[in-house]
Structure 1
Amino acid sequence: MVIAAALVGHRGVLLCHRRPDRRWYPDVWDLPGGHVDPDETAREAVGRECREELGVRLLEATEVPVSTGDPLVELTLFTVRSWVGMPTNTAHEEHDRIAWFTRADLDTARLADDRYRPLLARAMEPAP
């Protein structure tokens, strides 16, 4: 299982740019996240990955159902609107930079997966 976090703030959604020398999905904008370890839940994994990649502690994370279209890839996306700490790139071996994206920015961004566009647009809608 793979998890990803869409950190949503007043400036938009935070994405990480994958280093051009990465083997998988090089030189594209992606969500922070990774694999769920055998001894953890998806929620625990997203918290760990955000600590490792961004140096933040999640306070709230809402699970969003996602269909990858690939029966071999199970993805769980979390929308995160509350965290402690200032997001910084703490995973230089994976990402060469991080940036906030508005809805308009998403239209032209080279994303790891084009299916992220509608998911991220929905994530940026005001919380109910």
Structure 2
Amino acid sequence: MAARIQIAVAVLVRDGLVLLVHRHPSRRWYPNAWSFSAGGHVDPGESPHQAVSRECLEELGIQVHDPLPIPMTVTDPTLDVRAFLLTHWDGEPVNAAPEEHDDLRWFRPTDLADLNLAHPESLPTLLSAIQKGAH
């Protein structure tokens, strides 16, 4: 069995809202679905913590502080996803990767269940972590 692909994902929370990005319809994996903020492959020699910081800078144009590891359930057996709750950063998140995302928006956590999410199975554990970490 091949090694699972390591992915690091950022869950940005501000003023009770969660930032999601809409994956471009031309994306190979999970096209036309909403996903939690910045995220991507963990490069060789890079920790998930370093990867999430790099991805936030590349995809959102922000410098993050104190990413907090949180549980994330993903049923795709090819992925090893590490999620990080982010409540402090420098800069205003923008779509710095339009080839990957065609939209980004702030949502109330109660609205997330109505969206076409890339990993809907992750929603209960992420909402619980968001609720605990945002206080």
TM over 0.5: yes
Within the alignment, does 1:35 sit opposite 2:41 as a pair? Answer: yes
- The share of aligned pairs that are identical, in percent, is 41
Residues 52-91 of structure 1 aligned to structure 2 (within 5 Å): 52-91=58-97
Per-residue displacement from partner, 1:8-53 (whole Å, max 9, x unpaired)?
1115110100011111111010122000000211100000000000
Q: Which ranges in structure 2 are unaligned for 5 or more consecutive residues?
A: 1-5
What CA distance in whole angstroms lies between the structure 1 residues aligned with 2:129 and 2:63?
19
Is the CA contact (8 Å cut-off) linking 1:58 and 1:82 kept in structure 2? Answer: yes
Q: Which of these residues, 106, 110, 126, is aligned with residue 100 of structure 1?
A: 106
What CA distance in whole angstroms lies between the structure 1 residues aligned with 2:132 and 2:116?
25
Q: State the match for 1:26 in structure 2.
A: 31
What CA distance in whole angstroms lies between the structure 2 residues aligned with 1:52 and 1:36?
13
Is the CA contact (8 Å cut-off) linking 2:34 and 2:116 kept in structure 1? Answer: yes
Per-residue displacement from partner, 1:55-86 (whole Å, max 9, x unpaired)?
00001211113343444321100011111100
Question: Which AA in structure 2 matches 1:64?
Answer: I
Structure 1 runs (4+) greater than 4 angstroms displaced = none
Q: Secondary structure at the match of 1:125?
A: helix
Instruction: Report the CA distance between 1:126 and its aligned residue.
Output: 4.6
Q: Which ranges in structure 1 are unaligned for 5 or more consecutive residues?
A: none
Instruction: Report the CA distance between 1:105 and its aligned residue.
Output: 1.2
What CA distance in whole angstroms lies between the structure 2 residues aligned with 1:90 and 1:70?
27
What CA distance in whole angstroms lies between the structure 2 residues aligned with 1:13 and 1:30?
11
Q: CA, structure 1 residues 5+125, in 2 after alignment: closer, same or farther (shift >3 Å)? A: same
What CA distance in whole angstroms lies between the structure 1 residues aligned with 2:74 and 2:94?
28
Q: Secondary structure at the match of 1:74?
A: strand
Q: State the match for 2:8 in structure 1.
A: 3
| Greater displacement, 58-67 / 43-52 | 58-67
Alignment: residue pair count: 128
What CA distance in whole angstroms lies between the structure 1 residues aligned with 2:107 and 2:129?
12
